[in-house]
Amino acid sequence: MNNLKKWAFLALTTITLFSCNNDDDNINTNQATHVSAVLKLEHSLALGDQFTLTDSEKNEQSLELTVFKFLVSDVKLTTTNDEVIALSNNDAAQLVDLANADETNTIKVYLTDIPEGSYKSISFGVGVSQDVANGSTEEQAKLYELADDDMHWDWNSNLYIFSKIEASNLDNQNTVPKNLNIHVGNKGGNVDLFRTVNLILPETLTVAAKVSPSIHTIVSIEKLFTPDAPGVAVAYDAINAHGGTDDASKIFSDNYENIFEVHHLHPNEAAINLEDVEMDDHSHDGEDSEDSHSH
Amino acid sequence: MRYNTILFVFLLVLVSCGKDGEVYTDFEITFEQPANFPAATYDFEDNPITTDGFILGRKLFYDNRLSLNNGISCAECHNQSHAFTHHGHNLSEGVHAGVVGTRNSQPIQNLAFLEDFTWDGAKDELIDQPLIPIREEVEMDETMENVIAKLKQDTEYQELFTKVFQKEDAINQATFLKALSQFMGAMVSSNSKYDKYFRGEEGGGFTELEKQGLDLFKQKCATCHSGQLFTNQEFINNGIGENPSLENETGRARITSSNPFATVEELKKSDDYYKFRVPSLRNVEKTNPYMHDGRMLNLKRVLDFYDDDAYPMITRMDNLDSRLISTDENGDETLGIPMTPDEKVAILAFLETLTDNEFINDERFANPN
């Protein structure tokens, strides 16, 4: 009964807090327009590009990339004073899908509501952590929508698919071509495959109202399988989604920490606002826009 | 005292913030913790149960717009008169004519006390459970995006969501799931004749046969159908055997496999192959047919199965639950739970005392339209 009383008390408190705050909600939405910073993810491959991977029998397989996407959550920035700023997943969570990349294979993740200041690093999760998946429902409102349809397992308690990479095998000689087909998530509950990527910035990132600086980051897709040290190489057909092992899946997930590298910052790009860029990105019609491409 | 009742005094708070004091409802929903039940698993901190949230959840539960072509609502397969199951249907048709699902509809009752949901434990939080029937092709076959878009077109829903969640533009997947969860979480069935007997309340007089049945039940059934929920909430292989018309059924194996593309042949090697949840037996007399695929028409059949003396017999898979196997000194196995015909009569009489007519007739849970 003690637990229940505690729940009842918490419930009552929560309701009381929620019950009379009509006015507060509008403030946030009005302020959330200025883009504080842009994470630009330039991928090493485009959909349709060919690449070569070694399978578990040491055979080289020639593949054509068909799907590459992952969920970004838990974006955090660290100030030069070591203060960690965590952005709400309802603002900063994103589905990075190579199918939506521009002609330079780049996807932009727009970050809002970062307090003005100087930052030295940024981190984000690939997928959705157990804490978030089992935590507040309303804090997952955007994640539910991002995962809807394509990044969602109905028959799993952590419903999020963290990442997908698929490629078709171009080897017509092989009677059973090994297509690449890897979907990662906390399926089965034996291992936690959520990974956090930490990116140290090469110079200080200044967040201010008059600019929307961008962090130009290279995403080396092949490094998922052949990472730089201390990463460990893994054959694509050795992991769980190919009937392989949990250990190989862990190594593969670890390699997500290896594929991102900040190349440079654009510290002084003109301020943009979120509504404009979202409209621009959704149109995909090649119209010129002062706000977007700045190279 | 009939209950240790926890009253959430939120109504007062809500009323005090109401715009023009209109009468919204003539009843109040409180989450009632029955004295004889285990602690709730429902996440009250994340999603407190309010009367307005319950009413919104109920409207959604009975709304056909949750399905493709607005064909069926949740209540299609979960109707109250049969403890929110699909009476007489072993499997249920979804929105597509002639296409049935693969599992028997389970009762919507006492979900606030469960650790896992669905026959194989696909979800471990009530809040995520409705995503399965809504999205499943053989059930409602709708996308969440479409459901939310349909609800947003309805000004009544806009107002109700804003009222419950205290913000503008409140309709999204998270608030939708929260409302449904509040309705389902509040559906507590705890006033069967057995409960009244157990709590020493009026209306709880047991006949000699029912008392005998309870004693036999404790000896023969309560190892798995344990406690006041009448389930240990485990997933076991109870010997039900493969259903030849459902070739892709693997039970819990598909949940615990870490390979999302595992084939049926691969899953057959899993220790969780053909394991299913031990179901609660509350209102069991109202929820026929039985087993995960509804293959047994009545409770007598179920007892005959466990007694292993009539078709269908217990199937001896490698992972058959050890509590259904006894081995003699020669190493010979006997399967099942021995019961005489008279014992079955008594157990069946006891099982009928688990019917909660107050729950089945509770107007608060009924279709409001």
DSSP A80: T
Determine which of A9, A67, A154 to mutate to test the interface with B (most B C-beta atoms within 10 Å): A154
Closest residue in A to B251 (Cα) is: A155
* CATH class as words, domain B4-190+358-365: mainly alpha
| pLDDT the model gives residue A151 | 96
Determine which of B259, B265, B269, B270 to mutate to test the interface with A (most A C-beta atoms within 10 Å): B259
Q: Which helix (H) or strand (E) holds A217?
A: strand A214-219
| pLDDT the model gives residue A22 | 41
CB contact (8 A) between residue B48 and residue A15: yes
Q: Is B299 helix (H, G, I), strand (E, B) or coil?
A: helix
Q: Which helix (H) or strand (E) holds A248?
A: helix A246-254
pLDDT in tens, B51-98: 999 999 999 999 999 999 999 999 999 999 999 999 889 999 999 999
First to last CA, chain A: 63
Q: Which residues from chain B sit within 8 angstroms of residue A145, using beta carbons? A: 144-145, 172-173
CB contact (8 A) between residue B172 and residue A153: no
Contact A111, A36 (CB under 8 A): yes
Question: In angstroms, rounded to a whole number, what is the distance separating the alpha carbons of residues B287 and B280?
Answer: 11
Closest residue in B to A243 (Cα) is: B259
Better pLDDT: A268 or B11 = A268
Choose among B60, B220, B253: nearest CA to B140: B60
Question: In angstroms, rounded to a whole number, what is the distance separating the alpha carbons of residues B313 and A227?
Answer: 55
pLDDT in tens, B111-164: 999 999 999 999 999 999 999 999 999 999 999 999 999 999 999 999 999 999
pLDDT in tens, B229-280: 999 999 999 999 999 999 999 999 999 999 999 999 999 999 999 999 999 9
**Cα angle at B297 between B109 and B63, to 5 degrees?**
40
Q: Which helix (H) or strand (E) holds A112?
A: strand A106-112
Tokens of A2: 């003690």
Contacts with B, A 80-119, CB within 8 Å: none
From the CA of B284, how many Å to the nearest CA of chain A?
26
Question: In angstroms, rounded to a whole number, what is the distance separating the alpha carbons of residues B340 and A130?
Answer: 49
A141 touches chain B (CB under 8 A): yes
**Cα angle at A24 between A9 and A212, to 5 degrees?**
125
Q: What are the angstrom distances between the C-alpha of A44 and each of A67, A98, A201, B180?
A: 14, 11, 20, 44
Tokens of A154: 């109905």
| pLDDT the model gives residue B19 | 41
Determine which of B128, B161, B266 to mutate to test the interface with A (most A C-beta atoms within 10 Å): B128
Q: Which residues from chain B sit within 8 angstroms of residue A178, using beta carbons? A: none
- Residue intervals of chain B classified under CATH 1.10.760.10 are 4-190+358-365
| pLDDT the model gives residue B18 | 38
CB contact (8 A) between residue B9 and residue A14: no
Measured in degrees and rounded to the nearest 5, phi and psi for residue B206 equal: -95, 140
The DSSP result for B263-292, as a single string, is -HHHHTTSTTBT-EE----TTGGGS-SBST
Question: In angstroms, rounded to a whole number, what is the distance separating the alpha carbons of residues B75 and B105?
Answer: 11
Tokens of B181: 């969860």
Q: Which one of B4, B168, B173 has the shortest CB-CB distance to A25?
A: B168
The DSSP result for A57-71, as a single string, is TS-EEEEEEEEEEEE
| pLDDT the model gives residue B30 | 84
From the CA of B97, how many Å to the nearest CA of chain A?
23
Q: Which residue has the tokens 């009530």?
A: B126
Interface contacts (A, B; CB < 8 Å): 147
From the CA of A205, how many Å to the nearest CA of chain B?
34
Question: In angstroms, rounded to a whole number, what is the distance separating the alpha carbons of residues A292 and A40?
Answer: 11
Closest residue in B to A134 (Cα) is: B125
Sign of the alpha-carbon dihedral angle for A140, A146, A152, A154:
positive
Q: Which one of A1, A145, A240 has the shortest CB-CB distance to B4?
A: A1
Q: Which one of A19, A154, A249 has the shortest CB-CB distance to B14?
A: A19
Contact A249, A72 (CB under 8 A): no
Write out chain A's pLDDT in tens, 295 residues: 455 555 554 454 444 444 444 444 444 444 458 999 999 999 999 999 999 999 888 888 999 999 999 999 999 999 999 999 999 999 999 999 999 999 999 999 999 999 999 999 999 999 999 999 999 999 999 999 999 979 999 888 889 999 999 999 987 666 566 899 999 999 988 899 999 999 999 999 999 999 999 999 999 999 999 999 889 999 999 998 888 899 999 999 999 999 999 999 999 999 999 988 876 655 444 444 434 343 3
Contact A159, B128 (CB under 8 A): yes
Give the range among A140-144, A242-246, B173-177, B186-190 with minimum mean pLDDT: A242-246
Residue B27 CB partners (closer than 8 Å, separation 6+): B51, B364
CB contact (8 A) between residue A156 and residue B144: no
Which residues share a beta bridge with B10?
Answer: none
Contact B288, B299 (CB under 8 A): yes
| pLDDT the model gives residue A6 | 53
A19 touches chain B (CB under 8 A): yes
CB contact (8 A) between residue A154 and residue B131: yes
Q: Which one of B13, B135, B174 has the shortest CB-CB distance to A19?
A: B13
Contact A126, A83 (CB under 8 A): no
Tokens of B339: 């019961």
| pLDDT the model gives residue A172 | 66
Strands, E, within chain B: which ranges?
Answer: 4-5, 32-33, 235-236, 276-277, 325-327, 333-335
| pLDDT the model gives residue B204 | 95
